[in-house]
Amino acid sequence: MKQEKQKSLSTRLSIWIVLFAAVIFIAALGVFFAESRNAVRREAINNATQVLDNTVQRVDNILKGVKVATENTAWLVGRHLDEPDSMFTYCRSILQNNPNLNGCSIAFEPFHYRQKGLYFSAYALNENGRIQTTQEGNDHYQYFYLDWYQLPKLLDRPCWTEPFRDFNPEDIYSKEMIISYCIPIKDTDQRYIGTMSVDLSLDWLSKTISAVKPYPNSYSIMIGKGGTFFVHPDSSKLFYQTIFTQTMLEPDSSVINLGHDMQAGLEGVRQMDIDGTNSYVFFKPLAETGWSVGIVCPASDIFGGYFRLINSIIGIVIVGLLLMLMVFSSIITKQLEPLEDLVYQAETIASGNLLEELPEYTHNDEIGLLNKSFRNMQLSIVNQMEELKKVNEQKGRIQSELKIARDIQMAMLPKIFPPYPDRDDIDVFGKLTPAKEVGGDLFDFYIRDEKLLFCIGDVSGKGVPASLYMVVTRALFRTISAHESSPSKIIQNLNEVMSKGNESNMFVTMFIGVLDLPTGRLHYCNAGHDAPLLIGNTGAGMLPVDSNLPVGVLPEWKFSLQETLLDPDTTIFLYTDGLTEAENIDHKQFEMSRMVELAKSMQKAGTFTPTFVVNEMTEKVQAFVGEADQSDDLTMLAIQYTKHHKDIVYQHSLTLTNDLKRVPRLNAFIDEVCEANGFDMSTTMQINLAIEEAVVNVMNYAYPEGTKGDINVEAKSNGEVMKFIIRDTGVPFDPTVKEEVDITLSAEDREIGGLGIHLIRQIMDNINYERTEGHNVLTLTKKLPK
């Protein structure tokens, strides 16, 4: 595996290098090839063009000679038109003077010379140096229809004929292919009267042109104005075909264009396919006749040497590149060997063996640096691992501390349900589910002096900070409520304490209620918390609350106190926003409306005990939230007031003025009541002491000094407990909230009343104060003896 990796790296590197080299080679060679090809091409074109120029020049010179000779003779002819027979002399002499000429005709229009008849054409023929003359016209050689005669006549100027084969069945004629230079003969009135034509054998011309062979496989062609091949190595094309013939069946625009350009007397070079061979065609017109001479050179002839050179260079380059590939591959493999060792060691380290010794590498190159870096990395990994271990340990500690904190926090919450199994007037159930290990929600309740003090709260934020705040809140609640029964005052005190030094700007929404158990009167104060639900026999709905501010925001805020009277069996349901704002996976909230609906349905079903309400709510909210994470602490507290007043079986009452002298009257009244209800002597004495203490307290403090006021003492029994209800109309005063007596102080230093209340609490089973309808109502309860 390692071997393979390294192989592939060195191979890859080598391939890249060789590819790059190949690209450079290709580019360089491409330029070289293109340049040298152009050079070869230019050279070839120059060469061929020069050969062509020379040839054309030579042919043109000959043709020019013919032309000059003809014109000279024509001048003589023109001067002797009145001597028809002299024409034979002229045509003979031109041949004599120009041995390269093949023949000469001086032909006249039909009946031009009446004495000569229809035909008169003096003709001389040079047959291998023997010159013969004749009058060539006859019924089978009607010369005036022939090109050589007609062309100058119709064109009204001298001209060259296309090469042709003459045939005169009844006279001498040239057996060779000839071309003629023809001049119109005109009389003195410049009227056309005949044609003088001088013939040149095509043979010499053909040989001259065919001999041009600048390359081994090149050949020459010549086409006439009609495109006919008059020189061509292929005898099937010679005279019988034009350059266009094949294109009539298989159109070939390059050939057609070449043909047209050659016909047009242009000069040039073309690269094209000729009979399946890639060829160059050099062409140039003969100035005299307008025919075009061409040299066809196969490209392989021109570029033969060039291609051989290219092939050997390409061969060398390929071999060179392959060698490069091999050499580079082996060099790189060799150079990378230390890297291989390093890789092996690194894998060992990676498999967990952190202390594995790295190989020694002394060179100070990249691999050396890598080696060094690797050592450093190894060291720092070891250190990091140590660090990590420590951090993990710390984290574990924090986690366990958090767990403990949670346990403590949970322990602060009431957790024994039902909390008052012995009581028939109250049932409570509560539950707190924190979103994190520790939470900021709280609830609490306890009974003091026949009053159920309860609260629910939600600290802003979550986690440890919130939990700390919660603990403080809960502790303060307990502390303050121990001697303060007014919810608004409790909250106010709380608020004052908590607003001070609240640098982290935390706050608690809270609801505190104090339920007077004997009467079902509920005093409550809300500090920015959601309104609780009331579910009772007659319906379900929100408890109307003033919102006020949360605790911890404004120290001087005055919290309003509210009150209501609970019907028996009514359940108060308190909750935090963890219920109403519970979110499902689509970020939809559970919302107040769902909760109220649920409460109403429970109400309709007639089942709304605290346990049922809380569990049902829990179940429904969990079903709603589903897979989503719990986003906030969820706290619920339900309290059901189940007091049912038993029938009064005994009732007796006494009203006194606030005069201490009336105390004996009171004692007599108590004795009477106790006796009537079966209390023993000792208990009766104690009860007497407690009631007296309470009444004297009222007599001393309820009314301002010097004013009179009544104190009513009512004794009531329902067969189970005996209640002594002390009412007065004095200043509101709650003796139950006085500090527990500090019995370490001397009697004189103790606050008045303090010891009395302590005594009362010792004697009586329960003590309860209420201020109703302008009365202080203090209720002292004692169980009847069995």
Partner 1 sequence: MHNSTPYSSINMRKSLIITLLVSLMAVTARAQEKFIFTPQWTAQAQFAGYYVALEKGFYKDLGLDVEIVHPSVTQSAINRIQNNESHATTLQLAQAMEIVGDGIPLVNILQTSMNNAMVIVSRRGKNPLEQQGEKVGIWQAGFGQIAICMSINDNLGYRWVPFANNVNLFIEGAVDATLAMSYNEYYQLKQTGIEFTEDNVYRFCDHGYNIQEDGLYMTLEYYNKHQDQARRFADASRKGWEYAMENPEETLDIVMRMVQKNNIPTNSVLQKLMLDEVIRLLHDRESGKAEFRLRKDMVDKASRYMYEIGMLNRPVTYEEILAK
Stretch that binds partner 1, among 164-172, 409-417, 718-726, 739-747 (CB under 8 A): 164-172
Instruction: Tell which one of 69, 151, 222, 777 touches partner 1 (CB under 8 A).
Output: 151
Is 177 a binder of partner 1 (CB under 8 A)? no
Closest distance between partner 1 and the C-beta of residue 168, in Å? Answer: 8
Among 37, 225, 483, 600, binds partner 1 (CB under 8 A): 225
Q: Which is nearer to partner 1, 140 or 308 (CB)?
A: 140
Q: Which amino acid is at 583?
A: E
* Residue 745 tokens, joined: 């102080």
Q: Measured from the CB atom, is 186 or 436 closer to partner 1? A: 186
Q: What is the C-alpha separation between 593 and 666, in angstroms, rounded? A: 57
Question: Per rule CB under 8 A, is residue 683 in the interface with partner 1?
Answer: no
Binding-site size for partner 1 (CB under 8 A) equals: 37
Q: Widest CA span of the chain, in angstroms?
A: 203
What are the angstrom distances between the C-alpha of 617 and each of 232, 576, 614? Answer: 113, 12, 5
DSSP conformation letters of 258-278: HHHHHHTT--EEEEEEETTEE
Cβ closer to partner 1: 147 or 288? 147
653 residue type, one letter: S
Please say whether the beta carbons of 303 and 43 come within 8 A.
Answer: no
Transcribe 531-582 into DSSP letters.
Answer: PPEEEETTEEEEPP------BTS-TTPPPPPEEEEPPTTEEEEEE-HHHHT-
Distance CA 192, CA 647 (A): 168
Determine which residue in the list 259, 440, 528, 730 makes contact with partner 1, applying CB under 8 A.
259
Site membership for partner 1, residue 159 (CB under 8 A): yes
| 268 contacts partner 1 (rule: CB under 8 A) | no
Residue among 16, 20, 75, 240 that touches partner 1 (CB under 8 A): 240
Residue 491's nearest CA partner among 550, 432, 532 is: 550
Closest CB to partner 1 among 260 and 375?
A: 260
Cβ nearer to partner 1, comparing 249 with 747: 249
Residue whose CB is less far from partner 1, 159 or 497: 159
3-state secondary structure of 193: strand
Binding string to partner 1 for residues 477 to 506, with x set by CB under 8 A, is what?
------------------------------
Selected binder of partner 1 within 243, 349, 613, 777 (CB under 8 A):
243
H helices, E strands: number in the chain? 16, 27
Residues 132, 245, 618, 712: which binds partner 1 (CB under 8 A)? 245
Given a contact cutoff of 8 angstroms between Cβ atoms, the answer to whether 119 and 135 are in contact is: yes
Whether 496 contacts 574, CB under 8 Å? no
In the bound complex, what is the minimum distance in angstroms from residue 243's beta carbon to partner 1? 7
Residue in the structure block whose two tokens are 């010369």: 143
155 binds partner 1 (CB under 8 A): yes
Cβ partners under 8 Å of residue 229, min gap 6: 221, 222, 223, 237, 238, 239, 240, 241, 242, 243
256 binds partner 1 (CB under 8 A): yes
Whole-number minimum distance, CB 251 to partner 1, in Å? 11
- 3 state SS of 175: coil
Neighbours of 419 (CB within 10 A): 17
Q: Is 110 in the site for partner 1 (CB under 8 A)?
A: no
Residue type, 204: W
Helices (H), 156-230: 202-210
Give the residue, chosen from 49, 55, 180, 228, that forms a contact with partner 1 under the rule CB under 8 A: 228
CA distance 180 to 197: 6
Among 31, 154, 331, 379, binds partner 1 (CB under 8 A): 154
In the block, residue with structure tokens 């990091």: 384
- What is the DSSP secondary-structure string of 147-165? HHHHHHHHHTS-EEPPPEE
Q: Which stretch binds partner 1 (CB under 8 A): 159-167, 306-314, 606-614, 639-647?
A: 159-167
Beta 192-201 vs 101-108: how paired, if at all? antiparallel
6 binds partner 1 (CB under 8 A): no
Q: Does 246 bind partner 1 (CB under 8 A)?
A: yes
Residue 180 binds partner 1 (CB under 8 A): no
Structure tokens at 449: 């002096």
CB of 186 to partner 1, least distance (A): 17
> Does 147 help bind partner 1 (rule: CB under 8 A)?
yes
- Burial grade of 728 (CB within 10 A; 0-12, 13-18, 19 or more): buried
Span near partner 1 by CB under 8 A; candidates 37-45, 50-58, 166-174, 461-469: 166-174
Among 33, 113, 239, 557, binds partner 1 (CB under 8 A): 239
Name the minimum Å distance from CB 215 to partner 1: 27
Closest CA to 125 of 157, 163, 172: 172
Q: Which of 47, 132, 134, 241 binds partner 1 (CB under 8 A)?
A: 241
The whole-angstrom separation of Cα 493 and Cα 125 is 154
Which of 22, 95, 103, 162 binds partner 1 (CB under 8 A)? It is: 162
Q: How far is the CB of 178 from partner 1 (least distance, A)?
A: 14
Nearer to partner 1, 245 or 433 (CB): 245
Is 235 a residue that touches partner 1 (CB under 8 A)? no
Is 233 among the residues that bind partner 1 (CB under 8 A)? no
Q: By CB under 8 A, tell whether 706 contacts partner 1.
A: no
Choose the stretch contacting partner 1; rule: CB under 8 A; options: 105-113, 244-252, 440-448, 482-490. Answer: 244-252
What is d(CA 99, CA 129) in angstroms, rounded to the nearest whole number?
Answer: 7
By DSSP bridging, strand 570-575 and strand 710-717 are: unpaired
By the rule CB under 8 A, 227 interacts with partner 1? yes
Window contacting partner 1 (CB under 8 A); options: 226-234, 365-373, 663-671, 753-761 = 226-234
In the complex, what is the shortest distance from the CB of residue 195 to partner 1, in angstroms, rounded to a whole number? 12
Residue 442 CB-density burial (10 A; 0-12 exposed, 13-18 middle, 19+ buried): buried
* Segments in 80-98 forming alpha helices (H): 86-97
Q: Which of 205, 203, 199, 201 is nearest to 104 (CA)?
A: 199
State yes or no: residue 191 binds partner 1 (CB under 8 A).
no
Q: Is 186 in the site for partner 1 (CB under 8 A)?
A: no
- Nearer of residues 70 and 736 to partner 1, judged by Cβ: 70
Single-letter amino acid, residue 102 = N
Q: Binding partner 1 by CB under 8 A: which of 14, 126, 242, 686?
A: 242
| 396: contact with partner 1 by CB under 8 A | no
Q: Which is nearer to partner 1, 159 or 428 (CB)?
A: 159
Q: Does 181 bind partner 1 (CB under 8 A)?
A: no
Task: Say how far apart CA 593 and CA 541 lie, in whole Å.
Answer: 11
> What are the phi and psi torsion angles at 152 (to 5°)?
-65, -30
Determine if 140 is a binding residue for partner 1 (CB under 8 A).
yes
**Please, which residue, 125 or 614, has the CB nearer to partner 1?**
125
Closest approach, Cβ 31 to partner 1, in A, equals 41
What is the rounded CA–CA span in Å between residue 309 and residue 370?
A: 48
Q: Does 142 bind partner 1 (CB under 8 A)?
A: yes
Q: Which of 760, 780, 759 is nearest to 769 (CA)?
A: 780
Q: Does 282 bind partner 1 (CB under 8 A)?
A: no
Measured torsion, CA atoms of residues 335, 340, 346, 350, in degrees rounded to the nearest 10: 140
The three-state secondary structure class of 430 is strand
Interacting span for partner 1 (CB under 8 A) from 236-244, 355-363, 431-439, 539-547: 236-244
167 belongs to the binding site for partner 1 (CB under 8 A): yes
Residues forming contacts to partner 1 in the complex (CB under 8 A) are 140-142, 145-147, 150-151, 154-155, 159, 161-162, 165, 167, 169-170, 225-228, 236-237, 239-246, 248-249, 256, 259-260, 263
